[in-house]
Amino acid sequence: MIVLGADMHKGSHTLAAVAAAKGELLGDKTVQVGDRGFAAALDWARGLGAERVWALEDCRHVSGAFERFLLVHGERVVRVATRLMAGARRGGRERGKSDLIDAIAIARAALREGVDRLPVAELAGVELDIRLLVDHRERLVRMRTALNNDLLWHLHDLWPEQTFARQRAAVEEVDDQDRAAPGKRRADRAGPDRPRRAAPPARAL
């Protein structure tokens, strides 16, 4: 079996083919990001052997397109956490060859951990759409909060007496609600459909 480690970047991916039996490097290739480059990588890998597994560094904003391409074409893909390659990267660092070293480290980390024990990549369904929509909504909420805060500070800078009066009125309103809260809570506990308990009759003298 061959393990194909991939070092992922926004513009290019560097691939290293490592033999599962001894861990030696069988070949390497760098391709540009995009369908044409992905197809070239797949053709190159098919020429190395029929039994293969792709080990991709788990950085899905960068590796997601390549991962989906491989899955659509029936390839087996596992995800390798970045922390698993730290030791191999430090030990094999050479000037000008970091991408290849990282790709080899990813493949050997997959072999060391066991490809059957690593997370298996699968094509995402509706959960991907939901996650993207939720992420977008959270970004919009953060942007709205930041804009509101900026506006309030600008208003305070221009008319500090107005913002102070508004804050004081809001505090007084809260204080009034707190003072009225005990009686309101007793009325709420009684409820609209729950009759209040009648007072006991006066004791005769």
Average pLDDT, the chain: 79
Q: Which residue has the higher pLDDT, 145 or 128?
A: 145
Question: For the whole model, what pTM was predicted?
Answer: 0.57
For the segment 38-60, the average pLDDT, to the nearest whole number, is: 89
Output 39 or 84, whichever has higher pLDDT: 39
10 Cβ contact list (under 8 Å, min separation 6): 33, 62
187 or 139: which leads in pLDDT: 139
What pLDDT score does 132 carry? Answer: 78
Task: pLDDT band for 153, please (50, 70, 90 cuts).
Answer: confident
Structure tokens at 167: 């804050």
- Can you give the pLDDT at residue 4? 94
Place domain 2-123 in its CATH homologous superfamily: Ribonuclease H-like superfamily/Ribonuclease H (3.30.420.10)
Domain ranges of the chain: 2-123, 129-182
pLDDT at 82: 78
Q: What is the mean pLDDT of residues 134-162?
A: 86
